């Protein structure tokens, strides 16, 4: 039996990177799941709080995210779709894991190091770098580990930027298993497997040296799942490529064009080297046209569905309520065993 779990932060409409790196894989896994596989997809509001959030914006972003996930084809009758913050077991296990997590491991997380670097760039002295950052940013991956382990998940479909967090999750599972063997002398947590896609790292359209992200100030750097056909066209057309004749797939020296090929291959479910071959003698303009068409083809269905269900508030609330209650049935069994092993029962 597989237990598949993933999560996404409710920080605005997801972009094409979120979709091609993770969300589309959720749908694929749902389609190929065996009847006794368990699928859990979580909107992780507590993770979002590590950065300042305006309460009313967060409130509507939570509904946006639920509606987007439904509109791409996650079926609440098959998958358990829920808000992380509706299940307190995540926070309970997070605290317990905090108490077995070596600080050094957290300080080595690249997400933490990039926060530190950003605060250093803000002009502060080395020593006060950390004091400007909240503790949630440091312990963020422990909460993520709790999200996964509280369901004893075996597979975690995410983009490449989350790989290190899954490795930490495996480490923490292993530490717990070895430290708290229980009466049955058994290992409580499976070590979860990181599951990626060929498009595990979609790049910014404006700066192909960095990944497509929600936080870039340049809105032309990302395509949102709700963008219209003309917005998609304009953003792809303004994508940064290079001035070399012809198209080749060469992520190191031609990251911009290669990113477009990756996107095209992912949208059409084909192999990137095969796609590249088709464009060998063609120009960037033609590639961009075809990418824009393929992205529009991919997004038009979900976009229409989103417009339909986004304002069905009672329906969305109902999905969230049922999802939380089903999620808690699964996590309760884990937490009972965790408490027993720790001497907290």
CA angle 102, 104, 108 (to 5 degrees): 125
Instruction: Report how many helices (DSSP H) and strands (DSSP E) the chain contains, helices first.
Output: 15, 5
Question: Of 15-23, 30-38, 99-107, 331-339, which part binds ligand TYM (CB under 6 A)?
Answer: 15-23
Which residues lie closer than 8 Å to 199 by C-beta, 6 or more apart?
20, 21, 262, 263, 265, 266
Contact flag: residue 147 with ligand TYM (CB under 6 A): yes
Separation of alpha carbons 324 and 105, rounded Å: 31
Separation of alpha carbons 167 and 101, rounded Å: 13
Length of the chain in residues, anyone? 345
Among 3, 8, 172, 260, binds ligand TYM (CB under 6 A): 8
- CA torsion angle 2 272 166 69 (round to 10): -70
- Kindly state the smallest distance separating residue 5's Cβ from ligand TYM, in Å: 6
Contact flag: residue 90 with ligand TYM (CB under 6 A): no
Contact flag: residue 272 with ligand TYM (CB under 6 A): no
SS3 at position 34 = coil
Contact flag: residue 6 with ligand TYM (CB under 6 A): yes
Q: Which of residues 161-190 bind ligand TYM (CB under 6 A)?
A: 161-162
Question: Of 129-137, 173-181, 194-202, 318-326, which part binds ligand TYM (CB under 6 A)?
Answer: 194-202
For ligand TYM, give the closer residue by CB, 7 or 302: 7
Contact flag: residue 195 with ligand TYM (CB under 6 A): no
Q: Which of residues 198-227 bind ligand TYM (CB under 6 A)?
A: 200-202, 211-212
For ligand TYM, give the closer residue by CB, 68 or 148: 148
Q: Which x/- pattern, by CB under 6 A, does the window 32-71 give for ligand TYM?
A: ------------x--x------------------------
Separation of alpha carbons 102 and 80, rounded Å: 32
For ligand TYM, give the closer residue by CB, 160 or 312: 160
In the sheet where 155-157 sits, what is the strand order? 80-83, 38-43, 3-8, 155-157, 193-195
- Kindly state the smallest distance separating residue 138's Cβ from ligand TYM, in Å: 14
């Amino acid at each position: 039996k597989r237990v598949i779990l993933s999560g996404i932060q409710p920080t605005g409409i997801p972009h094409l990177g979120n979709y091609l790196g993770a969300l589309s894989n959720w749908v694929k896994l749902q389609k190929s799941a065996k009847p006794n596989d368990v699928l859990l997809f979580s909107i992780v509001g507590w993770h979002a709080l590590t950065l300042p959030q305006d309460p009313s914006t967060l409130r509507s972003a939570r509904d946006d995210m639920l509606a987007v996930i439904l509109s791409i084809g996650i079926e609440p009758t098959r998958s358990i779709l829920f808000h992380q913050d509706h299940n307190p077991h995540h926070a309970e296990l997070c605290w317990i894991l905090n108490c077995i997590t070596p600080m050094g491991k957290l300080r080595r997380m690249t997400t933490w190091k990039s926060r530190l670097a950003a605060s250093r760039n803000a002009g502060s002295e080395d020593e006060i770098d950390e004091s400007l950052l909240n503790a949630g940013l440091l312990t963020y991956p422990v909460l993520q580990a709790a999200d996964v382990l509280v369901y004893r998940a075996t597979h975690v479909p995410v983009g490449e930027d989350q790989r290190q967090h899954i490795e930490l999750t495996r480490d923490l599972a292993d530490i717990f298993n070895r430290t708290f063997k229980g009466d049955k002398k058994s290992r409580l947590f499976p070590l979860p497997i990181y599951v990626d896609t060929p498009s595990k790292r979609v790049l910014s359209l404006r700066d192909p040296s960095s990944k497509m992200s929600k936080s870039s100030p340049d809105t032309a750097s990302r395509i949102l799942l709700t963008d219209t056909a003309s917005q998609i066209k304009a953003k792809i057309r303004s994508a940064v490529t290079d001035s070399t004749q012809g198209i080749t797939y060469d992520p190191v020296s031609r990251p911009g064009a290669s990113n477009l090929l990756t996107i095209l291959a992912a949208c059409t479910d084909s192999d990137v080297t095969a796609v590249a071959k088709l464009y060998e003698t063609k120009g960037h303009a033609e590639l961009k046209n075809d990418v824009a068409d393929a992205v529009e083809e991919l997004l038009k269905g979900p976009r229409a569905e989103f417009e339909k269900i986004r304002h069905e508030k009672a329906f969305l609330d109902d999905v969230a309520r049922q999802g939380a209650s089903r999620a808690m049935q699964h996590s309760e069994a884990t937490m009972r065993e965790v408490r027993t092993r720790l001497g907290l029962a």
